[in-house]
């Protein structure tokens, strides 16, 4: 007859709990990183992490007794956010404003990163397809029209514009006007596309000269307005004086447009608006 073995469940449970606590503590310790370890894991230099500390965008959790910066899970998550924003082309000053804002929501930020990356992947797929078609065309395996050669680039222009201003311009000008403008862009030939780009450059060059002269009603000021009218006709597929005047007013009212024109000289957006007001009377 076998002797029954008694198990001390209290002792087993105590040992298990002690082991679990030990493992949990070990995991917590392993989640702390020095500059060297965090840099190696994230693929950034120690100099970069120290710079992030200096500008206040990523402070270490603590400084240990040896004087080393120590980063915890919170700092790891913040660094991930910083690198996401950097990958999307956001400046460090803007990143700092975003992630230090009391309204910053990490989950919403991750969702935005996700949407941005999906859009980027979509654009890359378009460009990859375009390059593939070009290779096949050069090898004589298929024919590629001039429109197709620039399809990827034109789609990117449209998508960038939609992302930045899509909702606003639909509210101002209506859905049909925006869709017509997008169709106009996609149907452009290579020659028309190049002409539009050259015209855009001419608008800015003439506008700078006119601004230096200081008279929106002068010959150069009105030439800039006329060139701008031709440029938006390329973009829209039609011309309307009232819409032209309203557009340049939006350049002044919207800080994004104003920044584009005022980067050359402060006040250029207002100068263009004034020149177009005279031109469209």
152: Cα within 13 Å, side-chain hemisphere: 16
Q: Say if residue 129's pLDDT is above 80.
A: no
For every residue of 209-264, DSSP letters joined together read HHHHHT-TTSHHHHHHHHHHHHHHHHHHSS--HHHHHHHHHHHHHSHHHHHHHHTT
Between these two residues, 111 and 190, which has the higher pLDDT value?
111
Tokens of residue 93, six digits: 């000053």
Say yes or no: do domains 9-99 and 189-281 share a fold.
no
Residue 69 is encoded by which pair of tokens?
Answer: 């910066």
Digit-coded pLDDT (tens) for 138-185: 777 767 665 555 565 556 666 666 665 556 556 665 666 666 666 666
CATH code of domain 9-99? 1.10.1660.10
Cβ-based neighbour number of residue 265 at 10 Å: 13
- Opening angle at CA 45, ends 40 and 51, nearest 5: 130
Distance CA 70, CA 37 (A): 10
Question: What residue segments make up the domains of the chain, in order of their start?
Answer: 9-99, 110-187, 189-281
Residue 6, Cβ neighbours under 10 Å: how many? 6
Architecture of domain 189-281: Orthogonal Bundle (1.10)
In Å, what is the CA distance from 148 to each residue of 107, 192, 196, 212, 222? 39, 14, 17, 41, 36
List the beta bridge partners of residue 33: 71
- High-pLDDT (> 70) share of the chain, %: 70
Helices (H), the chain: 9-30, 35-42, 46-54, 73-87, 92-99, 106-138, 146-149, 151-173, 175-186, 190-213, 219-236, 241-253, 255-262, 268-279
- 60 - beta bridge partners? none
Segment 213-261, tens digit of pLDDT: 999 999 999 999 999 999 888 877 778 899 899 889 988 988 878 888 8
Report helix, strand or coil for 58.
Answer: coil
Whole-structure pTM value: 0.43
Q: Is the confidence at residue 268, as pLDDT, over 60?
A: yes
CB-based contact 108:81 (threshold 8 Å): no
Which among 231, 145, 244 has a CA at the least distance from the CA of 193? 231
CB 57 within 8 A of CB 82: yes
State the Cα–Cα distance between residues 148 and 90, nearest whole angstrom: 31
């Amino acid at each position: 007859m076998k002797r029954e073995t008694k198990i001390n469940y209290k002792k087993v449970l105590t040992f298990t709990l002690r082991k679990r606590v030990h493992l949990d503590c070990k995991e917590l310790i392993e989640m702390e990183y020095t500059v060297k370890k965090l840099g190696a894991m994230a693929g950034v230099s120690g100099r970069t992490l120290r710079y992030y500390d200096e500008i206040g965008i990523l402070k270490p959790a603590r400084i240990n007794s040896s004087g080393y910066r120590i980063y915890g899970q919170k700092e790891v998550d913040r660094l991930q956010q910083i690198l996401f924003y950097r990958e999307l082309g956001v400046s460090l000053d803007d990143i700092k404003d975003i992630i230090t804002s009391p309204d910053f929501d990490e989950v919403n930020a991750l969702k935005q990163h996700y949407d941005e990356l999906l859009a980027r992947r979509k654009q890359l797929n378009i460009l990859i397809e375009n390059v593939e078609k070009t290779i096949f065309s050069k090898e004589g395996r298929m024919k590629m029209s001039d429109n197709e050669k620039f399809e990827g680039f034109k789609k990117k222009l449209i998508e960038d514009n939609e992302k930045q201003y899509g909702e606003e311009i639909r509210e101002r000008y209506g859905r049909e006007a925006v869709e017509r403008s997008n169709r106009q862009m996609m149907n452009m030939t290579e020659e028309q596309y190049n002409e539009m780009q050259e015209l855009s450059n001419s608008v800015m060059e003439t506008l700078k000269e006119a601004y230096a002269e200081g008279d929106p009603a002068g010959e150069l000021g009105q030439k800039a307005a006329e060139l701008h009218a031709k440029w938006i006709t390329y973009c829209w597929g039609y011309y309307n004086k009232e819409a032209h005047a309203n557009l340049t007013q939006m350049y002044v009212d919207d800080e994004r447009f104003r920044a584009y024109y005022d980067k050359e000289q402060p006040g250029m957006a207002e100068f263009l608006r004034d020149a177009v007001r005279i031109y469209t009377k």
